Amino acid sequence: MADFNKILTPGNIDDGTAHVVIEIPTGSNNKIEWNRQLGIFQLDRVEPAIFGKPTNYGFIPQTLDEDGDELDALVITADPLPTGIFLEAKIIGVMRFEDDGEVDDKIVFVPADDRSTGNAVNSLKDLPKQLLNQIEFHFNHYKDLKKPGTTIVRGWGDVEEAKAVIHESIERWNTKG
C-alpha cells in the first residue's frame, strides 16, 4: 500500500484548502488509524456503538500535531466517506482539543467542491449550532467508559487559527517527521 505521507502534500493551506485522508467514516465505531510505519490502515479498537463518529475523521499528510500523530481532520459531509480515500478539503475552523493532557486539535473541513450545499459552507458559523454541539459532546465523552474525564474540548477557532495550527504541524513534520 502507498505511504500517503510520502505521496500527498498537506495541500495549499494559505489558499484555504488541504489534502485529507479519511480513516473513519461518519457513524463508524471502528477506530481505524493510519499506521505510518507499515503504510497501511489498522483497526486500533472497536468503540461502543454509542460512540460512532459524528463526522468523517482523518488526517492531513505530512503534518504532526503536538501528540506526535498526524494532525486530525473532521470532514463534514452529508454521507460517510470510505476509509482510505483522500480529498481536497476547505478549511472552515479548528476544534481545540485536549486528550489525556496532550494537545490533540482537530481541523474542521468540508469538501472543497461540495455542490450539494452550493459550496455555501465557508466557516464554522455556516454550520448548524446543533451539529457543533454534537461534535463537542462526542469528543468530551467518547472515552468516558474507559477513562472518564480525560478528554476536553477547549473551544473553537476560525479559519485563520486553523491555518496557523496546520502550519505549525507542517513545521513539526519537517523537523521531526
* Residue 148: pLDDT over 90: no
pLDDT value, residue 156: 98
User: Would the annotation count 104 as a binding residue?
Assistant: yes
User: Would the annotation count 67 as a binding residue?
Assistant: yes
Instruction: Give me the mean pLDDT over the 106-119 stretch.
Output: 95
* Residue 147: pLDDT over 90: no
In CATH, what is the architecture of 4-176?
Alpha-Beta Complex (3.90)
pLDDT band at 176 (very low <50, low <70, confident <90, very high): confident
Which residues does 125 contact at the CB level (< 8 Å), separation at least 6? none
How many percent of the chain have pLDDT more than 90?
88
Q: Per-residue pLDDT tens for 82-104?
A: 999 999 999 999 999 999 999 99
User: Would the annotation count 31 as a binding residue?
Assistant: yes
User: Would the annotation count 45 as a binding residue?
Assistant: yes
Domain ranges of the chain: 4-176
Instruction: Give me the mean pLDDT over the 145-171 stretch.
Output: 95
pLDDT value, residue 7: 84
